[in-house]
């Protein structure tokens, strides 16, 4: 089985989010980048499925050269090879076209993405990929099991879960529950250095949308502390002041 | 030209987020002076279908065939795109629910439309350029996105647009889509839905608890508070990681982002990753025994006290309020 894992390089979860150029661009000064946490789940699952030589794992990243530490980390975790499409990852539409262009020539059986990236929070790449490759896609998987040519997926739905089965090839967006993220060991880190990392050029994709401005959410006023002995006051404030009950 | 809105139902009952989507579509229709058509797929009773007229749609297109009884991502996306083409929709609106998230990019790709997912505001139009707001960086920012081209798909964040009654006389029109076998290749084996629980992504009130609860055996009071308020229950990441509560309840940067009217946090210190997922809540109440807990800095109301002492009293206080 050939597995492709799509990696996004995102600001660390503790990063302070600020903007520059008149609030039109994310300010990455001093920001530590990590593998998108949901993509780490996808990667861990792929490596698990490949155990004992049952599959090969290719990781792909669309981005500039500064993302290479993230890609090497994925190789250290256990991916066999990596591909970087050398371009600024403008948006999900652009990224999906790059991945689809690569995947078309390779016949992957299973394409995994994280359910969403924690920077732009689209849940887009998996669906775009499914459509561009004309294969099924499952957006938010909580568990997945491969049985031959078929894959059983538990998908999150409001207030519960849905179990579905789908034939390979398929694109799946992974969420918590699919696998535990793996930490690279020393051997992995050493071998990662010599694993292939291919850099390819991007294809042209028409622009359909563009972020033109960022705002930081309005801040709340100072907290109103209420005595634990006067909870009726809290109830009253929620009703009359906040008007939420 | 028209605005098409897909309305999602659960077991034949339209979801609140679907009604929000219809109202939103109506407001978009008013902006661009185009009629609003709604689309329902699957089995829904006539009386439920007629409800949609209350929210401003002129026509309700219904697709109801055996193969589409249950939600199928590809098939539903194909039907929505096909209907969008047949009514010459320039804008397709749907809810950014779990199913909506799966379909929205497929519909956009089929229509060569720009995709605005997680929209939280009505679009602004200047000439042919549309801009729309969405949350980014896990609620730490609001991004204004410009949508170019002649078509767009907008996936609306639940609880971000109030459904408004605007009665029109609605005509209901069945539609027979052409489905390809590829669209129907997914097989749904089982659906497990807790019927007595409020769905977390759409909940207006969320009662959330953290490690301050000390163990899973102490959740009864959290659930009781949620029951009294008609709220959904949620938890912090350490709690779901420890297996005290299911992952589906985890709200925060790497869990679910929620936008309720009222978020009550019990025994959660307020790590930056947790705040990211809840900071868009309208009102935040924090209960924590540590007065220095960072959560108090972003709360509207705070109670410094032990959860085991405060929560039972709070349940009584809300019960008294509900009874009056």
How many CB pairs below 8 Å do chains A and B form together? 267
Residues of chain B with CATH 3.40.50.1220: 200-323
Range of the structural domain that residue A131 is part of: 2-215
Nearest to B135 among A11, A14, A121 (CB): A121
Q: Which fold has domain B2-184?
A: Rossmann fold (3.40.50)
The answer, yes or no, to whether residue B62 has pLDDT greater than 70, is yes
Give dist(CA B147, CA A239) in Å, integer: 39
Give dist(CA B54, CA B41) in Å, integer: 19
Nearest to B282 among A121, A208, A244 (CB): A244
Q: Which fold has domain B200-323?
A: Rossmann fold (3.40.50)
- Dump pLDDT digits (tens) for A11-31: 999 998 999 999 999 999 999
Q: Which two tokens stand for residue B228?
A: 């009294």
The answer, yes or no, to whether residue B198 has pLDDT greater than 90, is no
A10: CB partners within 8 A, 6+ apart: A33, A34, A35, A36, A117, A118, A119
Tell me the longest C-alpha to C-alpha distance in chain A: 68
Helix (H, G, I), strand (E, B) or coil at A120: coil
Is B240 near chain A, with CB under 8 Å? yes
- Which residues are B100's β-sheet partners? none
Q: Is residue A239 part of a domain?
A: no
Domain count, chain A: 1
pLDDT band at residue B127, thresholds of 50, 70 and 90? Answer: confident
The answer, yes or no, to whether residue B265 has pLDDT greater than 80, is yes
Q: Is residue A121 part of a domain?
A: yes
Q: What is the reported pLDDT for B324?
A: 85
Write out B89-120 in H/E/C secondary structure: EEEEEEECCHHHHHHHHHHHHHHCCEEEEEEC
Q: Is residue A224 part of a domain?
A: no
Q: Is residue A146 part of a domain?
A: yes
Average pLDDT, chain B: 94
The answer, yes or no, to whether residue B195 has pLDDT greater than 70, is no
Q: Is residue A120 part of a domain?
A: yes
Is B250 near chain A, with CB under 8 Å? yes
Q: What is the reported pLDDT for B319?
A: 96
DSSP 8-state code for residue A1: -
The answer, yes or no, to whether residue A219 has pLDDT greater than 90, is no
Residues of chain B with CATH 3.40.50.620: 2-184
Give dist(CA A1, CA A226) in Å, integer: 59
A99 chain-B contacts, CB cut-off 8 A? none
Residues 11-40 of B with CB under 8 A from A: 15
Query: What's the average model confidence in pLDDT over B188-194?
Result: 87
Q: Is residue A36 part of a domain?
A: yes
Cis ω before A169 (30° cut-off from 0): yes
Is A189 near chain B, with CB under 8 Å? no
Query: What's the average model confidence in pLDDT over A223-234?
Result: 96
Question: What percent of chain B lies above the pLDDT cut of 70?
Answer: 99
Which CATH number fits the domain that encloses residue A48? 3.40.50.620
B130: CB partners within 8 A, 6+ apart: B123, B124, B146, B147, B152
């Amino acid at each position: 089985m050939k597995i492709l894992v799509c990696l996004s390089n995102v600001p660390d979860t503790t990063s302070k989010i600020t903007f520059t150029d008149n609030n039109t661009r994310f300010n990455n000064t001093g920001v530590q980048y990590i593998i998108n946490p949901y993509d780490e789940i996808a990667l861990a699952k792929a490596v698990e499925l490949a155990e004992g030589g049952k599959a090969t794992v290719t990781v792909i990243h669309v981005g500039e050269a500064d993302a290479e530490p993230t890609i090497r980390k994925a190789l250290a975790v256990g991916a066999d090879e990596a591909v970087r499409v050398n371009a600024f990852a403008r948006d999900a539409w652009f990224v999906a076209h790059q991945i689809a262009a690569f995947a078309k020539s390779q016949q992957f059986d299973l394409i995994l993405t994280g359910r969403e990236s924690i920077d732009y929070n689209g849940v887009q790449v998996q669906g775009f990929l499914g459509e561009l490759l004309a294969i099924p896609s499952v957006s938010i998987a909580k568990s997945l099991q491969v049985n031959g040519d078929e894959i059983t997926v538990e998908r999150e739905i409001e207030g519960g879960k849905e179990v579905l089965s789908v034939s390979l090839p398929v694109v799946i967006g992974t969420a918590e529950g699919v696998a535990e993220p793996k930490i690279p060991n020393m051997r992995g880190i050493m071998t990662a250095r010599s694993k292939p990392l291919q850099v390819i050029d991007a294809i042209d994709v028409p622009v359909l949308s563009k972020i033109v401005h960022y705002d930081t959410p309005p801040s709340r006023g100072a907290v109103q502390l209420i005595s634990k002995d006067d909870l009726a006051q809290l109830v009253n404030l929620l009703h009359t002041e906040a008007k939420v009950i | 030209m028209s605005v098409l809105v897909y309305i999602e139902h659960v077991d034949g009952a339209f979801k609140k987020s679907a009604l929000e989507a219809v109202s939103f579509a109506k407001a978009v229709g008013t902006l661009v002076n185009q009629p609003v058509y709604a689309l329902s797929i699957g089995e829904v009773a006539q009386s439920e279908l007629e409800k949609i007229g209350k929210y401003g749609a002129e026509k309700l297109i219904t697709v109801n065939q055996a193969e589409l009884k249950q939600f199928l991502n590809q098939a539903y996306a194909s039907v929505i795109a096909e209907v969008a083409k047949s009514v010459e929709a320039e804008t397709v609106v749907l809810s950014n629910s779990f199913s909506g998230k799966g379909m929205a990019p497929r519909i956009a790709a089929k229509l060569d439309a720009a995709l605005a997912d997680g929209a939280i505001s009505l679009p602004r139009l200047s000439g042919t350029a549309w801009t729309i707001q969405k949350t980014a960086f896990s609620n730490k920012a609001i991004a204004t996105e410009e949508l170019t081209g002649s078509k767009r798909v907008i996936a609306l964040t639940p609880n971000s647009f109030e459904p408004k009654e605007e009665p029109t006389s609605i005509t209901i029109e069945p539609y027979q889509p052409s489905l390809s076998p590829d669209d129907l290749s997914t097989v749904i084996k089982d659906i497990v839905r807790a019927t007595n629980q409020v769905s977390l992504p759409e909940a207006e009130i969320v009662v959330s608890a953290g490690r301050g609860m000390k163990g899973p055996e102490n959740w009864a009071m959290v659930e009781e508070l949620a029951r009294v308020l008609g709220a959904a229950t949620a938890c912090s990441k350490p709690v779901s990681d420890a297996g005290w509560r299911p992952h589906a309840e985890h709200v925060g940067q790497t869990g679910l982002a929620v936008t309720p009217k009222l978020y009550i946090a019990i025994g959660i210190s307020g790590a930056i990753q947790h705040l990211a997922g809840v900071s868009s809540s309208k009102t935040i109440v924090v209960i924590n025994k540590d007065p220095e807990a960072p959560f108090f800095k972003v709360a509207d109301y705070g109670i410094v006290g032990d959860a085991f002492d405060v929560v039972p009293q709070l349940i009584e206080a809300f019960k008294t309020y509900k009874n009056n």
